[in-house]
Amino acid sequence: MNKPQKPAPPARSGRFATGAAAEANAYTASVGFDHRLAAQDIAGSIAHARMLHRAGLLTKAECGAIERGLNRIAREIQAGTFRWRPELEDVHMNIEAVLTRRVPAGAKLHTGRSRNEQVTLDTRLWLRDEMCALANELHRLQRALVELGRKYFHVVIPGYTHLQRAQPVLLAHHLLAYVEMLERDYERLLDCLVRVNVCPLGSGAIAGTTLPLDRASVAIELGFVDARHRPMLTQNSMDAVADRDFVVEFCAVAALLAVHESRLCEDLALWSTSEFGFIRIGDAYTTGSSLMPQKKNPDIAELTRGKTGRVIGNLVAVLTMLKGLPLTYNSDMQEDKERLFDTVDTCRASVRILTAMLGHVAVQEDACARAASDPGLLATDLADWLVERGMPFREAHHVVGRLVSVAESKGKPINRLTPAELRKVDKALTGAALRVFDLSHAMKRRHAVGSPGVKEVRRQLDRWHKFLSHES
């Protein structure tokens, strides 16, 4: 008798006359990356086995043996002694094959189950944990921004539009803008989590099963429940195995988060230049040049900005992979994993490193004060002063514009014009008008919700500080 050299991989038994070509195996195998789903695969299999036992499809002894066998595999994977075999394609079949070799009842584990649902189950379980970790890390990043704002509360810098000096803001206000963005990212993450946390088990390969499976109990055991502890189950077996919306949604949330981080990094990189000089980034979070001895580069900020490209690319890759697929499962979908893993890894790493780096940012108060003392930043305040004295805003805008050009032509700052020079532009402009150029007074006068004034920013900082210290 011609004995095969190796046991046939489970997905090839019976139907196939020959084994797969080595190069076909190498091309199709996903275990090189999907082994990351091993813990989730085992948790899902244990829950499935327990349900099969409750349904009378496994004896107590069989279920116990499967569970012990899976736990042993989990320990071996943890210890790095488990041998992954590419010819067994993926994480699911590697684990099942070793289990079945050791535990005869292992051959019953796949009862009423398909890899098509197993892979989405594992991905959902894995992503759920990663999203929770990322959400906590996001709050830590927000806290680092808030603490930097609190530490340098009185520092005023120019706010910019078109990268031209616009109006003065507290540095803390600028930092809190990012706290707001990140909070929206956080909310989007939690919202997305609701759709990640849905159990596909029981969908079979495409059309469910004829066996008496209890979907709800497995879902509850695996934590697929809503806020009121009701099981969350996919409602259409075809959608369940064909759907990767939750991957797309996560990648989209991550892409926007990456864009926010990127904009923060651009600000930090700009502020750390000799031209701005608003901040110094600690040596531990910068790098030097191999050639120019004086250089100190904001590498972390640059790389975080640069990695936005791959995070956005991953989103586009997954969308493109899905767009032409007929229902239901197609092997193309295996391509989602590396993009998802990379997105998670990149986002979590960048959030963590930015948090650490912000703890090593020293604000250069003198440089900030010099930039913020530009009286042009308060030209709008002067227009408001005229408005308060009855002048229509459009006219006030014009008058102050002329004043700016007079000051420019005389080569002096706008707040150094004499009362006579002011009156010459418009008789409403008395010497008292120049009081608007007192910066600290100006910063006290911005009260409305969301304004960069001292009182309002204090309130916002306190609110965030309190809110974020309640979090993990």
User: Considering the complex, what minimum distance in angstroms separates the CB of residue 337 from ligand ARG?
Assistant: 6
Q: Least distance (Å) from ligand ARG to the CB of residue 241?
A: 9
Q: How far apart are the first and last CA of the chain?
A: 64
The whole-angstrom separation of Cα 370 and Cα 376 is 13
Among 41, 62, 87, 90, which residue sits at the site for ligand ARG (rule: CB under 6 A)?
A: 90
DSSP state letters, 266-302: HHHHHHTSTTT--EEE-GGG-B--SS-TT--B-HHHH
For ligand ARG, which is the closer residue by CB, 115 or 215? Answer: 115
CB of 89 vs ligand ARG, minimal distance in Å: 6
162 is catalytic: yes
Q: How far is the CB of 133 from ligand ARG (least distance, A)?
A: 22
The least CB distance from residue 90 to ligand ARG, in Å, is: 4
By CB under 6 A, which span of 73-81, 115-123, 184-192, 422-430 interacts with ligand ARG? 115-123
Q: Return d(Cα 117, Cα 108) in angstroms, integer.
A: 17
289 tagged catalytic: yes
How many amino acids of this chain bind ligand ARG (CB under 6 A)? 11
Nearest to 57 by CA among 113, 118, 119, 116: 113
How long, in residues, is the chain?
472
Query: Nearer to ligand ARG by C-beta: 89 or 137?
Result: 89
- Binding residues for ligand ARG restricted to 31-70, rule: CB under 6 A: 34
Q: Whose Cβ is closer to ligand ARG: residue 34's or residue 185's?
A: 34
Sole window of 113-121, 271-279, 319-327, 443-451 interacting with ligand ARG (rule: CB under 6 A): 113-121
Residue 379 is encoded by which pair of tokens? 């030209």
Pick the catalytic residue from 154, 289, 405, 447: 289
Which residues face 199 on adjacent strands?
233
318, 255 Cβ separation under 8 angstroms: no
- Least CB distance to ligand ARG at residue 334 (A): 4
Which has the closest alpha carbon to 45: 131, 101, 125? 125
Considering the complex, what minimum distance in angstroms separates the CB of residue 192 from ligand ARG?
21
The H or E element that residue 71 is part of is: helix 60-79
243 binds ligand ARG (CB under 6 A): no
Token pair 């041998």: residue:
83
Q: Which of 263, 261, 247 is nearest to 342 (CA)?
A: 247
Tell me whether residue 128 or residue 244 sits nearer to ligand ARG (CB atom): 244
119/414 with CB nearer ligand ARG: 119
Residue 447 to residue 112: CA distance in whole angstroms: 64
* HSE-up of residue 230 (Cα within 13 Å, Cβ side): 4
Comparing CB distances to ligand ARG, the nearer of 29 and 218 is 29
Q: Any bridge partners for residue 115, and if so which? A: none
User: CB–CB of 456/449 below 8 Å?
Assistant: yes
Taking the C-alpha atoms of residue 267 and residue 363, their distance in angstroms, rounded to an integer, is 13
316-355 residues in contact with ligand ARG (CB under 6 A) are 329, 331, 333-334, 337
The residue from 13, 162, 229, 274 that is catalytic is 162
User: Taking the complex as a whole, how short is the minimal distance between the CB of residue 196 and ligand ARG, in angstroms?
Assistant: 17
Residue from 116, 197, 262, 286 touching ligand ARG (CB under 6 A): that is 116
User: What letter does residue 233 receive in the DSSP assignment?
Assistant: B
Is 166 exposed, middle or buried, given 0-12, 13-18 or 19+ CB atoms closer than 10 A? Answer: middle
**Which of 381, 158, 394, 440 lies closest to 278, judged by CA?**
158
Structure tokens at 360: 């090593």
At its nearest, how many Å lie between ligand ARG and the CB of residue 350? 26
Q: Which of 427, 455, 437 is nearest to 380 (CA)?
A: 437
Per-residue binder mask for ligand ARG (CB under 6 A), 277-316, x = binder: ----------------------------------------
Of the two residues 115 and 173, which places its CB atom closer to ligand ARG in the complex?
Answer: 115
Stretch that binds ligand ARG, among 47-55, 59-67, 112-120, 261-269 (CB under 6 A): 112-120
The tokens for 340 are 């998802």
Rule CB under 6 A: say whether 124 interacts with ligand ARG.
no
Q: State whether residue 64 is helix, strand or coil.
A: helix
Nearer to ligand ARG, 333 or 358 (CB): 333
30 binds ligand ARG (CB under 6 A): yes
The one among 113, 115, 174, 244 contacting ligand ARG by CB under 6 A? 115
Residues 447, 460 contacting (CB under 8 angstroms): no
CA 249 to chain centre: 11
Q: Is 119 among the residues that bind ligand ARG (CB under 6 A)?
A: yes
Task: Tell the burial category of 4 from Cβ atoms under 10 Å away from its Cβ (0-12, 13-18, 19+).
Answer: exposed
**What residues are labeled active site?**
162, 289
Residues near ligand ARG (CB under 6 A) are: 30, 34, 90, 115-116, 119, 329, 331, 333-334, 337
